[in-house]
Chains A and B, each alone.
Chain A
Amino acid sequence: MLRLEKLTKQYKTGDQALIDVDLEIPKSQVIALIGPSGAGKSTLIRCINRLVEPTSGKVYLNDLELTSLSSRKLRKNRRRMGMIFQEYALVERLTVMENVLSGRLGYVGFWRSYFRKFPQDDIKEAYRLLDRVGLMDMVDKRADELSGGQRQRVGICRALIQNPDLLLIDEPTASLDPKTSRQIMRLINELCEERELAAIINIHDVQLAQMFSQRVVGLELGSVVYDGPPDGLTPDVLTKIYGEEDWSATIEKVEDDDEEII
């Protein structure tokens, strides 16, 4: 469904963020992208929807080459890729509802969005999603009044209302506490399953990556150094990705004993 071919990004400063990354993701597969800070994880997912323009290489979404699209066509195709951010990246001074509806901006014209006159079906869908993540009471709250976990749920709704085929998720739990992190990861997993979405999740936390993904890709200095099942992450592999460290504690199986979400 998503295919990267020799994707390379070199920043103007000379930093080589990605080197010849090849990756293929089938429908409804959740991939965890792990690697140390600066390995190019954020750059990789931003190169897919071209928030960062790749230097060379190709990105195919359902056999459509994204890397050569004009900016108008690119915008149309961005709608098929929902993005979830590290610090939530909600527009803080807008209400929860406006933030969710902003996921439909690619579908409505400027004046409609200016007067906040979104189609009725969009509004219904927004309510449905907010109910699904348990934020029905927060609809008219301003985004900066919410807690971290709540904000990330709004971020998820914003991505899902785009009706995407693919989710690009950048460190969804980096600013959340361990419990909320798991709740959010589980929510993402469930939603991907419900909607048969593919997802790429950048994540620092190796344990979370193992718990909530079907496949793990390890990135180190811009190159893929591991690509395989979650339980293939042996101390050797982790050393290759992150460098020398005692990994035995990290890869002990974690019992999934959290309470249900909400």
Chain B
Amino acid sequence: MPKIESEKGLSWKRRTTKKQLLIWLGWLIGVSIIVFAWQLISEKTVWFFVQDAPRQAADIGVRMVPPKWSYTSKLIKPVWDTINIATIGTMIAIIIAVPVAFLAARNTTPHKIFRVAALFIIVSSRSVNSLIWALMLVFILGPGIVAGTIAIGLRSIGFCAKLLYEAIEEIDHSQVEAVEATGAKTSQKILFGIIPQVLPTIAGVAVYRWDINIRESTILGLVGAGGIGLQLNGSINTLAWTQVSMILIIIFITVLISEWVSAKIRYAII
């Protein structure tokens, strides 16, 4: 297309004039949106604080060193809680997500109505951040690990079920057809034709989500839902910066280990 013949002979341009103009227009709109957004945000900013930020940062940085190593002993229980929130929350999520995924997948759903309902569960679970789930659950159940665990579970259902139902829809249909041709019932068709195909995905998704949940459960304490976030929040509020840095180090190590574990397990599954 962008080959133009003129009196000067054959010339080449990357794009036609019209396309080029459209691209410029796109840039213009994009840039004006950004400028507009920036103005709105800068209106609500106290620039004095921002100018002061580097000094503040340096100040906090100095106060954080050295980390209060002795505080570690008081962090063992919170870390244990954090891991439990993530692990049990993931377990709850998988137990619920598997049937939901089978209802949501086009090739296994018993009826369209079930599919719509399952998709609704998936979307609403996914759209609400675990911190918001936790915020609500703390109101209902009171502060504590239970609220955090359920929050993690609720948030993870949608994530796991979405990945699972996509995997179910992508299975090799001929294997299912072969099982069906033997005269198997629908339940047996799922058991022999579909489950063996998606089992590795279920395990992989569980481990993947567990890794994410470890990170997420480190912050649930900010709204009172248990775990190490509780100590973090407390230490920041009391300006105990050496404790803060110690907590951050512990979080960092926990996340690092969980990432390593999940990578190992996923590698073993595949």
Contact = CB atoms under 8 A, between A and B. Distances in A.
Interface of A: 49, 51, 75-79, 81-83, 85-87, 89-94, 98, 102-107, 110, 113-114, 155, 158, 162, 168
Nearest to B181: A83
Nearest to A114: B191
A141 to B, nearest CB: 15
Given A91-B196, A105-B188, A113-B188, A158 B178 contact: yes
B65 interface: no
B182 A78 contact: yes
Nearest to B178: A89
Contacts of B193: 91
Contact of B175 (A75, A91, A113): A91
A92 B199 CA distance: 12
A93 B200 contact: yes
Contacts of A87: 174
Given A103-B182, A158-B182, A51 B177 contact: yes
Interface residues of B, number: 21
Given A110-B191, A113-B192, A91 B183 contact: no
B187 A91 contact: no
- Interface of B, secondary structure class, is helix
Nearest to A101: B192
- What are the 9 A-B residue pairs with the smallest beta carbon separation, nearest first? A106-B183, A78-B183, A105-B184, A89-B178, A83-B181, A79-B183, A93-B196, A89-B174, A75-B183
Contact of B177 (A81, A89, A110): A89
B235 interface: no
A252 B69 CA distance: 88
Contact of B179 (A92, A102, A168): A102
B175 A105 contact: no
B14 interface: no
Given A77-B183, A82-B182, A105-B188, 17 more contacts: A49-B181, A75-B185, A85-B174, A85-B178, A89-B172, A89-B177, A90-B175, A90-B178, A92-B197, A98-B192, A102-B192, A104-B182, A105-B183, A113-B192, A155-B178, A158-B182, A162-B182
